[in-house]
A and B are shown apart, each in its own frame.
Chain A
Amino acid sequence: MTRRSITRLPWFWGAVGVVGAISLWQIVSTVLRVPLYLLPSPWATLEALVADAALLAPHLATTAIESVAGLALAFFFGVGIAAAMGASRVSRGLIYPSLVLSQAVPLMAVAPLVLIWFGLGPSAKVLIVAFICFFPITVNAYEGFRAVDPLYLEFLQTLGARRRDVYRHVVLPATLPGIFAGLRVGATYSVLGAVVGEWLGGSRGLGVYMTRALQSFRTDRLFAAILLVMFMSLGLFKVVDEVGGRLTPWVQRRQHA
């Protein structure tokens, strides 16, 4: 491959940017001898990641399970609410304002209450994740329901389609791209939601690990956990993106970086 063609790869300049920023950070840390309790160097972060791998693994698993479970819950709730709003003008009027208002609730203030209600175990975290993720899924799915072209519905009528045929052949596929657009956004929020929940209390999860690392001023461990959170978000996003692409092959996709 020639150099020219490498620079044309979609991820090339993004990779250059990331590697450049990390290098700069390493150089600044080394030259200025920034103390570890203020900011770890990338190398120190990597060392902590390797040294603590065995300890991090179960925390990682807990956070991953909470994120995926919360996202799944948000999916079922979001699509359900969207379908309910799509059913009639009255149901839309009833639900939509509450839905928007729910997003104005300062989660950081309410989350401790959720932990009090549901305990320090994973179920409270799953609920927090679901609460954060269901809004984009609901809104996008609802837009999908609304965007169904009535001409298609009419055409199916001429084929003698019944109501469930219409759902199967028109409404569901028309809504699917919207549902996945919401799920992609939700996927990027979900890990964050799980970490916030863990941060507030619990015994397992990357958020718990982070609070412990911070209390002992081990910023290298904190950053190692942050790194894992970032990769987990990216991974979850990619999985959702890939599944969405497979299930909606008719959608012309733009290139993601």
Chain B
Amino acid sequence: MSLIAATHLAKRFGDLTVLRDVSLTVEEDDVVGLLGPSGCGKTTLLRILLGLETYDGGELAASPGRPGYLPQDALLLPWKTVLGNAELPLQLQGVAAAERRRQVRDILPEFGLAEFAGIYPHQMSGGMKQRAALLRAVLTGSRILVLDEPFGALDTLTRHRLQDWLADLTRRLHRAILFVTHDLEEAVVLSHRVVVLSARPAVVLGEEAIDLPPGERRDRLGRAFLAARDRLLSQLERGNG
């Protein structure tokens, strides 16, 4: 069964049509990149999938429960430590304090945050914030994670490192991931499939499978990587010519 199955979704804000016709499925363990130019309505689409926004046309079937969400700016609560932020989903689900602390501490090292459980967001680097926010999304326990431009605000080097780290992590995590990006490389590094969207009003221009072994996903200058990147670019350019 699909975790998300959206068919012919449409969304208007007054006279402004943001989504014209967007169909999209996400299966178990899928990693799907949503690639499109800035302002094409990617975030609106995510908000609809998260249940934060209604839609005006089409159909949406989603697995029960809300996806784990990593918002664009991490949105860690400034008054909570790494531990406090990470345990929040468990806390809201009524998990007892000792048990949720244990769960967080078990998984912190995987996110490179083992020594940072007690620090506050204002003491964290951009990369740490994103990792902590992803950890929080994972701890919702949801089968699907939705990431909104997860590494968009980071410097190039940090972004590359985190992309490689996340690509590794997804192979162990066994969660489906749907992420939005306008970064071609990011789409290649992380995705099994990339859904290419047009400029506003968004329609699906096409879908590309990215069948690269882990080693070639890291090699941003490798032939296979660049070929995949070029296929995505030409899709984007054809639709937004």
Contacts and interface: CB of A to CB of B under 8 A. Distances in A.
A173 B51 CA distance: 26
B77 A152 contact: yes
A165 B92 contact: yes
B71 interface: yes
A159 B77 contact: no
Contact of A250 (B66, B79, B140): B79
B78 A250 contact: yes
B88 A169 contact: yes
Given A165-B92, A252-B122, A157 B79 contact: no
B94 to A, nearest CB: 11
Contact of A173 (B67, B69, B75, B77): B77
A159 B140 contact: yes
Contact of B89 (A152, A159, A173): A159
A249 interface: yes
Contacts of A152: 75, 77
B166 interface: no
Nearest to B78: A250
B111 interface: no
B1 to A, nearest CB: 22
Interface in A140-164: 151-152, 154-161
B154 to A, nearest CB: 19
A26 interface: no
A170 B77 contact: yes
A109 B79 CA distance: 44
A62 interface: no
A56 interface: no
Interface string B30-57: 0000000000000000000011100000
A159 B73 CA distance: 17
Given A151-B75, A170-B77, A250 B120 contact: yes
Interface in A236-250: 248-250
A250 B52 contact: no
Given A151-B71, A252-B122, A158 B77 contact: no
A161 B52 contact: no
Interface string A172-209: 01101000000000000000000000000000000000
Given A169-B88, A248-B79, A250-B79, A157 B52 contact: yes
Nearest to B71: A155
B77 A169 contact: yes
A165 B92 CA distance: 7
Nearest to A162: B92
A248 B122 CA distance: 13
Contacts of A249: 120
B69 A155 contact: yes
A196 B66 CA distance: 59
B133 to A, nearest CB: 10
Contact of A160 (B79, B92, B122): B92
A232 B121 CA distance: 36
Contacts of B140: 159
B241 to A, nearest CB: 35
24 contacts: A151-B73, A152-B77, A154-B52, A155-B75, A156-B92, A157-B51, A157-B52, A158-B50, A158-B67, A159-B88, A159-B140, A161-B92, A165-B92, A173-B77, A173-B79, A173-B80, A174-B79, A249-B120, A250-B78, A250-B79, A250-B120, A250-B121, A250-B122, A252-B122
Interface of A: 151-152, 154-161, 165, 169-170, 173-174, 176, 248-250, 252
Given A156-B92, A158-B67, A250-B121, 15 more contacts: A158-B51, A158-B52, A158-B66, A159-B66, A159-B140, A160-B93, A161-B92, A169-B77, A169-B80, A169-B88, A173-B77, A248-B79, A250-B78, A250-B80, A250-B120
Interface of B: 50-52, 66-67, 69, 71, 73, 75, 77-80, 88-89, 92-93, 120-122, 140
Q: Which 8 interchain pairs have the tightest Cβ spacing?
A: A173-B79, A250-B120, A158-B69, A250-B79, A155-B75, A159-B92, A159-B89, A250-B78
